[in-house]
Structure 1
């Protein structure tokens, strides 16, 4: 089955779902909706959504089809006037695939009566025993994790040829997080060039020119501030201003909806690495004035310790110090004004909300996707960030 292109919009009383099915038979389609569940089928297309609010069948629902292959379905809201949040988070709306496991991953103990438990085959207590000798290598792999939420390991054993072009750390699958940080700090100290830094500091015409550039989020943020002064700002304005292109919407539909089970400590680390990645992205946008080039993937991954050294942060000050050190060590323009500008812009993006953050992550995803072998970083980090951010809460960073 093919997941069709779709969009959602709303007014006070109705939810409108627009579905593009250019090759479907108009006479053979089916629509089902109840509560927060919506299903659409028109061979070979199938769409299943979990809506952020409840809809109802009361006779006012309506579906139309035009010659361009677009179904427009208007569904009444169960509570008139209710505002459905997150309608632009397309991946999050896709109903997650049900587990195919025959048995639950976690079984609740003590909930069945003794007589309901099937009698198990008698265990052979005389079975021969052998000691389990865990190898040093497998033990190290359990410590040397990386990627989104530190959920991956052993990846670079299969990608040795691409390794040197993607990250700076050697043998990441046998290097712990503490060792990675120690080696990163040593590499930055060795790379710092006082002459280059002083040249950019005193001959800053090019830097001043770059700082005049206005990225898209600066205008959106200005409108937000103006609207707040007039008490007219709300999330509807935000969604209207932070819009996604057709390519971005298509990429959102391609992502698989997943739920990430992160403990409190890991979740904190994920937020900090998000800031680290956004800082590097903001620098790249100013350095190229929004016109990405062949150096763009290098800029982003080189300035982000998360991407370049598989760094795991535990404190926001470490994120900011790391980014500042790398800006004055590696890129073409090594001026501290670009550090502060990237920081201010990252704060802007976070204050604009999930839509703005997601739009930046999708741009990073595209930059890496079109570069070989930077695409590996999408598999390690960016794809999961694009999915996770749609359900995350940013208030803890602000």
Structure 2
């Protein structure tokens, strides 16, 4: 079946769905409404939407097909007039499956029959039976008399049983098989090599850290620090996503078509996994911000390499968190300063070890961009992810990272991310203070040495000019 192009709008009493399905017969249209779920089938098109509030069909509802334009317009009545249906412009969220309903009811016991003990021997029987009980049985008997308040302890978490050498990776570890023939691909950013399908998370992280140390170049950093005129221009570049008015935001027709092709999944993530997704999102937005600044919003053939190289979840299949001690005790939407610092320190390291422009000040500007994009909400964040997807999809090798990360992240951002959480995260990033000693390299020492060398060259030039003046003949009177 083909998912048609569509758009949604609303009035005070109705929700209007406009579906583009040219060259069909109006008599073949099948429409079904079930509370929040709306579906329309007209061969070969099928569309199923899940609204935020219930709708129904009544005398005020209608479905009109215009053969001249190819649009089917369906008007559905709101169950509660005046209710605001949010996110009607987020097509991926409307296309996402209806969330599973968790069972809230507790199991109950139905008493079918009871037998009473004769009163004459009750006491004696109880004494004899109690004396025969073991210690464990007595604890259970006492617990039964005390509303079953048995002493309990949290069991140790067991590692997942591995029945295969293959390891999963990507968004929520739901992907595998994309790197089975990696030796035949010219994937320059793959830091795990041929072991991508079998390496453990710890092995991936070790390889990432080792590769960063190998690529770190002190002379490159000092040269960019000494001659930073062009880098200052990159830092001053205004990101259009941060300067355009929020009220003018609207997805383009191209973006809507891309969202129609995104996977339609229900992501059942645990609180810890949700927390990790927000942190990994920061690394994606940082890479996007760096690429946008260094190309000033005009992607080049190197843009896909830049995005893949700067994102640890891509190049090393190593997503956040990078501070495990902090993340164990943190709620899904509460972010500790230490773990945010560890996430950005990882992104900073990669920005200082791999791309052309290596500057701590440029990395700081990218972090400010991340905070600004998050503050704009999930619509703007999703637009950035769609731009990342567009760049990666055009590359013959790096498109794989779009499949295992960006596609799912785009859907999750639109359908599951919370604007309030993104706003709190933006505030936390704005208040974060990144220090150069957090990166793991002696940046301050290299900068001091660069300034000292610059001063020496300046003094040497002054001395040379004085010597030349002394050697010149005196002017004629």
Normalised by the length of structure 2, the TM-score is 0.68
**Cα shift at 1:139:** 5.4
Q: Which runs of 5+ in 2 are unaligned?
A: 111-160, 322-338, 426-477
- The correspondence for 1:212, drawn from 236, 244, 255, is 236
CA distance in 2, matches of 1:110, 1:27: 48
Partner of 1:375: 399
Say whether 1:254 aligns with 2:261.
yes
> For each residue in 1:334-355, what CA deviation from the matched residue of structure 2 results, as whole angstroms up to 9, or x when unmatched?
1122211111111111121111
**Cα shift at 1:319:** 1.4
> For each residue in 1:29-55, what CA deviation from the matched residue of structure 2 results, as whole angstroms up to 9, or x when unmatched?
233334212222322222122211122
Partner of 1:146: 169
Superposed structure 1 runs of 4+ greater than 4 Å apart: 108-113, 136-140
After superposition, the Cα gap between the structure-2 partners of 1:84 and 1:155, relative to the gap in structure 1 and judged at 3 Å, is same
Partner of 1:86: 87
CA distance in 2, matches of 1:86, 1:58: 24
CA distance in 1, matches of 2:303, 2:207: 25
- Name the larger-Rg structure: 2
CA distance in 2, matches of 1:140, 1:318: 30
Q: Is the 8 A contact 2:187 2:398 kept in 1?
A: no
Partner of 1:233: none
Partner of 1:50: 50
RMSD over equivalenced CA pairs, Å: 2.8
Say whether 1:294 aligns with 2:301.
yes
- The correspondence for 2:345, drawn from 307, 312, 321, is 321
1:67-216 to structure 2, matched below 5 A, reads 67-94=68-95, 96=97, 140-141=165-166, 144-162=167-185, 164-170=187-193, 171-216=195-240
**Cα shift at 1:111:** 9.1
CA distance in 1, matches of 2:341, 2:414: 26
Give the total of aligned pairs: 350
Normalised by the length of structure 1, the TM-score is 0.80
CA distance in 2, matches of 1:242, 1:359: 10
Q: Which runs of 5+ in 1 are unaligned?
A: 100-105, 114-135, 225-236
Q: Is the 8 A contact 1:197 1:328 kept in 2?
A: yes
CA distance in 1, matches of 2:219, 2:307: 24
CA distance in 1, matches of 2:4, 2:189: 34
Task: Please identify, of 146-155 and 202-211, the stretch whose mean Cα deviation from structure 2 is larger.
Answer: 146-155
CA distance in 2, matches of 1:179, 1:65: 58
Higher relative contact order (CA 8 A, sep 6+): 1
After superposition, the Cα gap between the structure-2 partners of 1:85 and 1:207, relative to the gap in structure 1 and judged at 3 Å, is same
**Cα shift at 1:390:** 1.9
After superposition, the Cα gap between the structure-2 partners of 1:166 and 1:326, relative to the gap in structure 1 and judged at 3 Å, is closer
After superposition, the Cα gap between the structure-2 partners of 1:278 and 1:95, relative to the gap in structure 1 and judged at 3 Å, is closer
> For each residue in 1:88-138, what CA deviation from the matched residue of structure 2 results, as whole angstroms up to 9, or x when unmatched?
221222263999xxxxxx9x999999xxxxxxxxxxxxxxxxxxxxxx995
Q: Is the 8 A contact 2:99 2:266 kept in 1?
A: no
Q: Is the 8 A contact 1:283 1:339 kept in 2?
A: yes
Say whether 1:348 aligns with 2:372.
yes
Partner of 1:386: 410
